[in-house]
């Protein structure tokens, strides 16, 4: 069975949600194929996890507030810090994208290949927190990474950008795109229906990486890393998995939902490089 983590509700003011989750033991990393349409674009971008981790001179940890640090691009001779929109490619093992879960968050569990797991290990070791046994890591022992986006944070960003639409309790995650048609000459953000983001789908995840280190209201100390979900790009189905899971029948949004990140991009195109 998968490894069960300690259940803790989100502390007030903390930018992290920790769940009690028995992650899937159906490890199929040897069957994750990275050779389809659209994959080349995401593998070659400078923000791809493997490229970032391979060159420690490209990134740095920048303090945001308190003991929270964000993984940022390292810009020589500049005091400007730009967080890295990290691109991670893998296979969906489970997802809560059709509507927020009971914690008020969207989540995607993605199975990583061995190279991606080693790349994340390199990134953890580069921060002050390190990679000790007491540190919470958002990649479990089976190589399944959890990406999370909180509804409150998305809506706060939407209001800040004066968007007319904010998410309701039954709305799907707004940052779902068709990445299978994308390349360097065609980076328009084309929406993809949430029903396609099911177990076995190969996706590219756009995420931010941050640390947390705080003492909760109960006096317990918690520290670790979080993978903030920004956008999800559908690449293709895994032809080895058989028939796809039955899509959820939950109500979909009545209008097209555009995430604040997508909304802010000029002409709504994908840009990940430093």
pLDDT at 120: 97
Least-confidence region, from 68-82, 127-141, 145-159, 259-273: 259-273
Least-confidence region, from 31-40, 43-52, 166-175: 31-40
What are the structure tokens assigned to 187, written together?
Answer: 């980076």
Residue 18 has pLDDT above 80, yes or no: no
What are the structure tokens assigned to 223, written together?
Answer: 């520290």
Q: How sure is the predictor about 168, in pLDDT bands with cuts at 50, 70 and 90?
A: confident
pLDDT tens-digit map of 67-102: 899 999 998 877 788 999 999 999 999 999 999 999
Can you tell me the mean pLDDT for 211-231?
A: 89
166-190: buried (b, 16+ CB within 10 Å) or exposed (e) per residue? Answer: bbeeebbbbbbbbbbbbeeeebebe
- Hey, CA dihedral for 143, 241, 24, 180, is it positive or negative? positive
Q: Is residue 23 part of a domain?
A: no
pLDDT, greater one: 273 or 242: 273
pLDDT, greater one: 234 or 216: 234
Q: Is residue 2 part of a domain?
A: no
According to DSSP H, which parts of the chain are helical? 39-44, 49-54, 114-125, 151-160, 260-264
Q: Is residue 118 part of a domain?
A: yes
pLDDT at 256: 64
Pairing of strands 221-237, 176-178: parallel
Can you tell me the mean pLDDT for 117-139?
A: 90
Strand, coil or helix: what is 159?
helix
The DSSP symbol for 46 reads T
pLDDT at 86: 98
Q: How sure is the predictor about 238, in pLDDT bands with cuts at 50, 70 and 90?
A: low
CA dist 161 to 87, 133, 262, Å? 24, 40, 11
Residue 237 has pLDDT above 50, yes or no: yes
Please state the three-class secondary structure of 99-150 as a single string. Answer: CCCCCCEEEEEEECCHHHHHHHHHHHHCCCCCCCCCCECCECCCCEEEEEEE
What percent of the chain lies above the pLDDT cut of 70? 78
Q: Is residue 244 part of a domain?
A: yes
What percent of the chain lies above the pLDDT cut of 90? 54
Q: Is residue 19 part of a domain?
A: no
Domain that holds residue 36: 29-268
Taking alpha carbons only, the member of 46, 25, 86, 24 closest to residue 228 is 86
Q: Is residue 4 part of a domain?
A: no
How long is the chain? 274
Q: How many domains does the chain have?
A: 1
Q: Is residue 74 part of a domain?
A: yes
pLDDT at 134: 80
Can you tell me the mean pLDDT for 145-157?
A: 94
pLDDT tens-digit map of 179-202: 999 998 889 999 999 999 999 999
Strand, coil or helix: what is 160?
helix
Strand, coil or helix: what is 82?
coil
Residue 251 has pLDDT above 90, yes or no: no
Q: Is residue 90 part of a domain?
A: yes
Can you tell me the mean pLDDT for 54-71?
A: 92
Residue 230 has pLDDT above 70, yes or no: yes
Contact residues for 79 (Cβ-Cβ < 8 A; gap 6+): none
Q: What is the distance between the alpha carbons of residues 243 and 11, in angstroms, rounded to a whole number?
A: 40
Can you tell me the mean pLDDT for 53-61?
A: 95
Residue 170 has pLDDT above 80, yes or no: yes
pLDDT at 247: 40
Strand, coil or helix: what is 7?
coil
């Amino acid at each position: 069975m998968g490894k069960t983590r300690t259940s803790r509700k989100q502390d007030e003011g903390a930018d992290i949600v920790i769940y009690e989750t028995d992650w899937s033991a159906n490890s199929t990393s040897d069957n994750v194929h990275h050779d389809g349409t659209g994959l080349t674009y995401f593998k070659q971008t400078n923000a791809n996890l493997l490229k970032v981790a391979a060159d420690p001179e490209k990134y740095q940890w920048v303090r945001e507030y308190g003991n929270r640090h964000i993984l940022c691009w390292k810009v020589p001779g500049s005091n400007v810090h730009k967080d890295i929109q990290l691109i991670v490619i893998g296979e969906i093992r489970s997802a809560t994208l059709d509507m927020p879960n009971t914690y008020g968050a969207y989540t995607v569990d993605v199975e990583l290949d061995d190279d991606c797991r080693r790349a994340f290990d390199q990134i953890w070791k580069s921060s002050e927190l390190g990679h000790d046994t007491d540190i919470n890591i958002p990649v479990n022992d089976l190589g399944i990474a959890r990406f999370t986006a909180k509804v409150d944070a998305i809506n706060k960003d939407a209001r800040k950008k004066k968007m007319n639409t904010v998410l309701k309790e039954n709305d799907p995650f707004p940052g779902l795109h068709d990445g299978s048609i994308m390349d360097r000459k065609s980076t328009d953000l084309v929406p993809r229906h949430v029903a396609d983001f099911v177990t076995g789908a190969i996706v590219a995840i756009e995420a931010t990486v941050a640390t947390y280190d705080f003492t909760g209201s109960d006096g317990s100390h918690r520290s670790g890393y979080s993978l903030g979900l920004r956008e999800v790009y559908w690449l293709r189905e895994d032809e080895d998995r058989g028939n796809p899971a039955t899509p959820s029948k939950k109500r979909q949004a009545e209008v097209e939902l555009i995430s604040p990140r997508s909304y802010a991009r000029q002409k709504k195109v994908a840009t990940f490089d430093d």
